[in-house]
Structure 1
């Protein structure tokens, strides 16, 4: 586990598989008397409202169970919005000071048919580990299996502000019609951010989520560039494909949208994200530089794209800087 002020690499650009915006749901909870378990799945940062109370007592921004007066512990089961390989977990107790759980553990399972908590063989991802008050706790996960359901245990009771599960989405392609043109950059189909040169504002991975952005904070935005050059972001597609359509959306970016954009692409192997970033300068151009407009969906059809053949990685370049709400890359998967 890393300390309070050390944000590990997995929390900087990997997808939060437990995000509510991806459809993560609470399936079961032993007790959430003071605060509903689903609150800990919010993407927003937890807040403390000193004078806010409800019928059950002090309102808290997270999941909080009542004081346990008998043996045992509390737990909640969630279904991840995106099945995937988990690389790290954040258990956040911010604002829980006299009511945080002193310990927690996490288990996972990936059922191939209907989920049944009582009959599942849960696998340990985080052993029983100490927690502190009012802080973010990061746990690296060394397990290459994919999981779709998690069980968070707290000992014996208390409150968790946020649970975030960082990883690489991995869909079950056997259940997907690959003959159709699909949004292969989407998290649901295994797309993920592999790197970027700057992300001063927003959360980079949200450019791959469904729907249009709800505000200017719902996207990827770089700082104002004061030196020559341009900014960029790397995306690993969920499958290899010949690209047929691209969407670049600048929703809500008005005084800070990029002047232009271009896209490079390549078919890569098992390179690390750092190796991809080093190689991307030499990738071929898929989309030549295009003028962008504020708060607008820009669509580029197959005839506007360079014929590169099958690719599985793209780099979006923005000139010189600014914000992008969504990026969508479409093609027919090739396996």
Structure 2
């Protein structure tokens, strides 16, 4: 994992709705594999009708002087901070270079649409992760990935901040402020030994126990925690903690702290979270269940921008939802 994976959201995750909608060629390995959430694998003796099975996107060998490219629809509009072009297991068939363009459009862009280069032609090596920072600071939702000239990419991760235009939202309605596609993201946590911690901010219920946040078994005093930056400032109306699939490893209880933070770095906000006010006192949890905590069960609190979910002493959470009304 990179520092960008810890601080930002992978906008190219299928869990957020990302999909590869087009590729000039994927004769050797399907284009959809390039954005899978799990790490690329190597299966020594696996072959299909096209040859060696590879966990990623791989095109045929170019003989015409052209190059291959793919169009990706990101799962959510966002500002990209970095990309990771991973060539794991591609040793003699990786592309020598890659270039990435971006666009913002409701409909699928064409070759004549306005595309902006967010990663100039960049050299790649075999069987390695290539993390590159991006300086383009406008929200986008489409990418065009160019392999120069051909070859295979195991994974493409696109790290950034989800963008939600809250000016179009009704301030009198109740919104899910903690939803990732609404701009929320995980800022930090003390442990995430199993699963993927950012999954707790996604839609729907968990597919399995790996689709959530689970900590190791705690063998010392204390408790585990995760700090979340909400998509927008709001006043909380309801909170949900879902332990779906967690049966012998759910937390005994949880409590929630909160604050309205006007400025600060990720590190300073995490440090300050230790002394935030208590939004919800410690509540019992049970196995494989959606726990709904109404406004009447919460302490009186003004508008907030961040929450800290404390679980006691350890265990797993599938989803964490904070619902509220928008605040100025």
TM-score band w.r.t. shorter chain: over 0.9
Q: Give the equivalent residue in structure 2 for 1:301.
A: 294
Tell me how many residue pairs correspond in the alignment.
328
Give the CA deviation at 1:83.
Answer: 1.0
Separation in 1 of the partners of 2:207 and 2:147?
33
Partner in structure 1 of residue 163 of structure 2: 170
Say yes or no: does 1:276 pair with 2:269. yes
2:56 corresponds to which residue? Answer: 62
CA distance in 1, matches of 2:206, 2:41: 22
**1:13–1:204 CA contact under 8 A, matched in 2:** no
2:86 to 69, 77, 92: 92
Q: Deviations over 1:89-137 (max 9, x none)?
A: 11111111111111112111223x5342223222222211111111211
Residues in 2 aligned to 1:195 and 1:142: alpha-carbon distance in whole angstroms: 23
- 1:20 corresponding residue in structure 2: 14
* CA deviation string 1:4-49 (max 9, x = no partner): xxx4311124211100111112222111111221111111111122
Cα distance in 2 for residues equivalent to 1:299 and 1:192 = 21
- What is the distance in 2 between the residues matched to 1:307 and 1:117? 51
Match of 1:251 in 2: 244
Quote the offset at 1:264 in angstroms: 0.7
- Give ranges in structure 2 of 5+ residues lacking alignment: none
Residues 1:194 and 2:187 aligned together: yes
C-alpha displacement at 1:175, in angstroms?
Answer: 4.2
Q: Distance in 1 between matches of 2:109 and 2:97?
A: 26
1: CA distance, partners of 2:305 / 2:297:
19
For 1:198 and 1:28, locate their aligned partners in 2 and report how far apart those are by CA, in whole Å: 38
Residue in 2 aligned with 1:39? 33
Alpha-carbon separation, structure 2, partners of 1:175 and 1:159: 41
How many Å separate the matches in 1 of 2:130 and 2:230? 30
**Shift in Å, 1:178:** 4.2
Task: Measure, in 1, the Cα distance between the counterparts of 2:296 and 2:179.
Answer: 22
User: Structure 1 regions of 5+ residues with no counterpart?
Assistant: 1-6
Correspondence for 2:145: 152
Deviation at 1:207, TM superposition (A): 0.7
Dislocated runs of 4+, deviation >3 Å: 174-179
Residue of 216, 238, 262 corresponding to 2:209 = 216
TM superposition shift of 1:267: 0.9
Please report the TM-score for the alignment, with normalisation by the length of structure 1.
0.94
Per-residue Cα deviation, 1:170-189 (whole angstroms, up to 9, x for no partner): 12334444432111101111
CA shift at 1:316, angstroms? 0.2
